[in-house]
Amino acid sequence: MKLVVMGLGQCGGRVADAFARLNKRARARRKVDIILDAFAINTDITDLSGLNTIKADSSHRISIGGQKTHGHGVGKLSEIGADIAKESGDKIIDAVRKTRGFADSDAILLVAGASGGTGSGSIAELTRQLKERYFDKPVYNLIVLPFQQEERTEARTIYNTAVCLKSTYLVADAVFLVDNQRYVNKDITIINNLMDINERLVQPFYNLLCAGEERIAQYVGAKVVDAGDITETLAGWTVLGEGRINISRSAFSFGRSSNFRGRAIEDSRGTRAMDEALGELSLTCDPRDARRGLFLVSAPRDEINMGMLSDVAGSLRMVAPNALIRYGDYPRTKGSLDVAVILSEFTRVQKITNYFNRAIELIKLVKARQGRIEYADRKIEDIFEDIPVLL
């Protein structure tokens, strides 16, 4: 599957930069392109200057809203970010349209942090404009949720996040959810932490995107996961993860073990990798609420067999009994067995519900301070309509 990636705001730009590095790795190691082009769009020129991999020309690092922000961002005011996106949409889409091989891309992925101003405000509006212009091409959103300390210290973070989530859900073909807090390492510096988070965030996409683009016959899977499988899996709220089990050299250089203990360990590798992938999902959720799922097993060819695929499928089926599951194999990796998993079309995500409830409480508080006491007696479902949509 080939993507065009657009990063909006500081967080989105950095994640798009990580996707650009992912493509450099795919091109160097596997001779395929999975990210046809990557863009960073921001109202803050300094943030655009801090990227490493996205091309530095004005067609790839796109500054918007200069007349309103003078190149210094929108100060977490997502409404301004949305207005700027409406004004600058043609400029952005024109740059994307001219990308090499845009017509050959299978989908467009827009990335933004949910709590900021530029990214959270502009992502839904740009998604809407892209879908109107390219109605035959899926447009996905990847939303990065805030750290816990951000939620605790600033009410605007909760408000922006709820508004962003509601807005993107209404327009995107699917919304990948990533909880920053799941990847935090408290023992390293902030900049290294953020870089590590972004690399870990994009890693599960690597084999999933490469599998359908593989050109070397010996690495083509018996059951290929391609763009069609991924597109049919993605809908609504979506999470993904990856698990890895290291394989010792003797395990795949000298055949399968004849010892019953060794055979049992070998036979359980796939399910152990699946368990790890489920434990590393990008957001804490209940898989029973997913209606679609996909997994991809990547390992040396001799390590993949029907028994393993059946066991891995059974493992996912146990935790996601209501999901229609697609799967495939990719005999590409060396020295490890990797399982990438996507769960999609969730009927309920508790963390998202919590954001909406907390935003509703904030709205009630603001309205009460304005003298509109009637808000205290209204039902949550009614007040939910008062969470604005940035479209």
Which pLDDT tens digit goes with each residue over 31-75?
A: 999 999 999 999 999 999 999 999 999 999 999 998 888 777 888
Q: What is the mean pLDDT of residues 277-290?
A: 96
Is 55 found in the same domain as 169? yes
Q: Which of 152, 167, 202 is the last residue of a domain?
A: 202
Strand, helix or coil at 306?
helix
Sort strands 336-344 and 236-246 into parallel, antiparallel or unpaired. Answer: antiparallel
Is 246 found in the same domain as 101? no
Which pLDDT tens digit goes with each residue over 314-354?
A: 999 999 999 999 999 999 988 899 999 999 999 999 999 99
Residue 29 has pLDDT above 50, yes or no: yes
pLDDT of residue 275: 96
Which pLDDT tens digit goes with each residue over 288-320?
A: 999 999 999 999 998 999 999 999 999 999 999
Let me know if residue 56 belongs to a domain.
yes
Sign of CA dihedral 168, 170, 172, 176: positive
**φ, ψ for residue 240 (rounded to 5)?**
-150, 160
Distance in angstroms (rounded) separating the CA atoms of residues 323 and 294: 9
Is 226 found in the same domain as 139? no
Residue 82: name the closest of 120, 43, 42 by CA. Answer: 120
Residue 128: name the closest of 169, 73, 74, 78 by CA. Answer: 169
Is 165 found in the same domain as 236? no
Residue 143: name the closest of 257, 238, 276, 271 by CA. Answer: 238
Determine the residue type at 378: R
E strands within the chain? 3-8, 35-42, 61-63, 107-113, 139-145, 174-179, 236-246, 292-298, 324-330, 336-344
Q: Residue 78 is part of which domain span?
A: 3-202
Distance in angstroms (rounded) separating the CA atoms of residues 96 and 124: 17
Residue 377 has pLDDT above 60, yes or no: no
Is 102 found in the same domain as 77? yes
pLDDT of residue 266: 62
Residue 250 has pLDDT above 60, yes or no: no
Residue 253 has pLDDT above 50, yes or no: no
**Contacting residues for 373 by C-beta, under 8 A, at least 6 apart:** none
Let me know if residue 366 belongs to a domain.
no
Which pLDDT tens digit goes with each residue over 209-231?
A: 999 999 999 999 999 999 999 99
Could you tell me the pLDDT band of residue 382, with boundaries at 50, 70 and 90? low
Residue 124 has pLDDT above 60, yes or no: yes
Q: What is the mean pLDDT of residues 77-84?
A: 94
**Do 17 and 56 contact (CB within 8 A), yes or no?**
no
In CATH, what number is assigned to the domain containing residue 60? 3.40.50.1440
Could you tell me the pLDDT band of residue 252, with boundaries at 50, 70 and 90? very low
**In Å, how far from its chain's centre is CA 285?**
15
Is 69 found in the same domain as 162? yes
Residue 42: name the closest of 128, 139, 141, 119 by CA. Answer: 119
Let me know if residue 321 belongs to a domain.
yes
State if pTM tops 0.85: yes
Number of structural domains in the chain? 2
Residue in this structure with the two tokens 């060396």, named with its chain if needed: 334
Is 235 found in the same domain as 194? no
Determine the residue type at 130: L
**Contacting residues for 192 by C-beta, under 8 A, at least 6 apart:** none
Let me know if residue 261 belongs to a domain.
yes
For the chain, give the mean pLDDT: 90
**Contacting residues for 248 by C-beta, under 8 A, at least 6 apart:** none
